[in-house]
A and B are shown apart, each in its own frame.
Chain A
Amino acid sequence: MIPPVIKKPIFLIPLTMAAAIILVSILAWRALVPINQKNGFGRNFITTKLTMLRVSKPTEIVAGIAGITEHQIYFKTKDPSKLWQTDQNLQNGKLIALNIPNNSRIASAFYSTVDSPFVHVMACNGPAVIKADLSGKATSMYRFPTALFTRAVVIGGDSYIFRGFDTTLRGAGQVFIKGNPKTGELLRNNLVKNANDGTGITSDGYLNFDRSSNMLVYVSYYQNRFYCLDTNLNLLNSWNTIDPGNTLEVKVVNVNGTLTNTTPTRIINGRGQAFNGKLYNVSRRQADNEPAGLFSKNDVLDVYELTSGSYLGSFYIPYYEMEKVSDFKVTENSIIVQYKSYIALYKRPI
């Protein structure tokens, strides 16, 4: 028999809420216990605090860093036909209109890369590449005889490297493709694949091109590895990251024509950039000698030498005004960082 006083709302309301919170807490605790165990590696920090040089707030929503010229910095927007341009101090921002169609197919997934005086818009679901003049005049559109692509970089002139699906290679999942629409060159290479990875999602990662070393770098999201290729898609080397974690298999299913994972994804490597013979890789794994408070409020970058795979050290890119890092680009002397509402310039530590 429940005492009448317990039936009063002043007791029942907090009891009900506490029961709900306890249930969720138990589920969360069970899920987090294996994750919070030590990951078995340590980091050498070059610095834990970057020096901020400039910060500004664009009046347009920026969605990535498209490129840098001698005097300007270009940011991608959600509209493939528009770029946000600033000077080298992130000031004097203005919208640049490009002679590019803005249809939903292009806008659904695209990369914008500035290679002055041109900008290349690579439409993943086209699949197509649109080469436009930054002054807003001429535009060329190229289609490739392959299926959709998920990653794309410009390696110079009219040559592009993609990672995507190739209808000529059955059951291969995603492959690397090199294409030049002017010369008609088309190369394919089925590197970086896992068993049971028909969709290429377990082997998914980010693709970068380092002009100074003329090397392509592919970093796996779910493996502790990165791959260095030449511009003819030959594998030069593959190196381990400092994280000794194993490959995390991602189970995938096809739902109404959309490929999606069926289990939670645990990313090892987030995003990164290859620059001047080094790889600046954002790791999603906390080191054993790293305070949880710092790891959760910054993006940690591990720096590697591309030719030897040597680990050179780590540093943090801080969150700003409680906003996480959306994109970053390393330059000769600085690091440009794009947040949701802000763009910032930091002094490069290595």
Chain B
Amino acid sequence: MKRATIVELIASLLILLFFYTAVSKLLEYQTFKLQLGKSPFITQFSSLIAWMIPMGEIFIGAALIFKRTRLLGLYGSLFLMTMFTAYIYAMLNYSYDLPCSCGGIISKMTWTQHLWFNIGFVILCIVGILLQTKLNAKGYKKLEIKHDELPSVVYTAFS
């Protein structure tokens, strides 16, 4: 399978995941905020996080749609998914209370299932970043070959 196709697939999965969970959280905003308040680690910041997380997911989802910002979107996805994974790990091992603040169908998973689900997406993000970086470099090299034929101002715009 071509690199570009794999990256498109990974980006599509992430876009689907982020938009689905962001919309679920925004539609059930009060419930989501309430559940965040029950978490021992983030109870003090529940109001802030309740809107930051879905907005962040929408922003990252949008960044993934366009090829120009896809790499940024993939790094954003990696940051977010690693953060969620670390949060679940910390809750499972150190928390005295385990609420659920997930969106939609993901709320049907157990905490342990959710941990593995997130680890899977972290791996997808890493694969996506590596492939997208290679694609970007390839695209840059193509331009570099043409660079000698083009005015320097065009080269600067695409570097």
Residues of A within 8 A of B (CB): 8-9, 12-13, 16-17, 19-21, 23-25, 27-28, 30-32, 35, 253, 255, 260-267, 284
Contacts and interface: CB of A to CB of B under 8 A. Distances in A.
Contacts of A23: 83
B107 interface: no
Interface string B82-125: 11001100100010110100000000000000000000001000
Main secondary structure of the interface of B (DSSP, over half): helix
A16 B78 contact: yes
B7 to A, nearest CB: 13
A20 B96 contact: no
Which bucket holds chain B's interface residue count?
20 to 34
Contacts of A8: 133
**Chain A contact residues: helix, strand, loop or mixed:** helix
Contacts of B87: 24
Interface in B1-44: 30-31, 34, 37-43
B30 A255 contact: yes
A30 B42 CA distance: 10
Contacts of A24: 41, 83, 86-87, 90
Contact of A260 (B34, B82, B94, B126): B34
A8 to B, nearest CB: 8
Given A266-B96, A284-B96, 18 more contacts: A9-B129, A12-B75, A16-B79, A16-B82, A17-B78, A17-B82, A20-B82, A21-B86, A24-B83, A24-B86, A28-B90, A31-B41, A32-B40, A255-B30, A262-B34, A262-B37, A262-B38, A264-B40
Contacts of A265: 38, 97
A212 to B, nearest CB: 34
Contacts of B129: 9, 12-13
Contacts of A21: 82-83, 86
Contact of A9 (B40, B83, B130): B130
Contacts of A20: 78-80, 82-83, 86
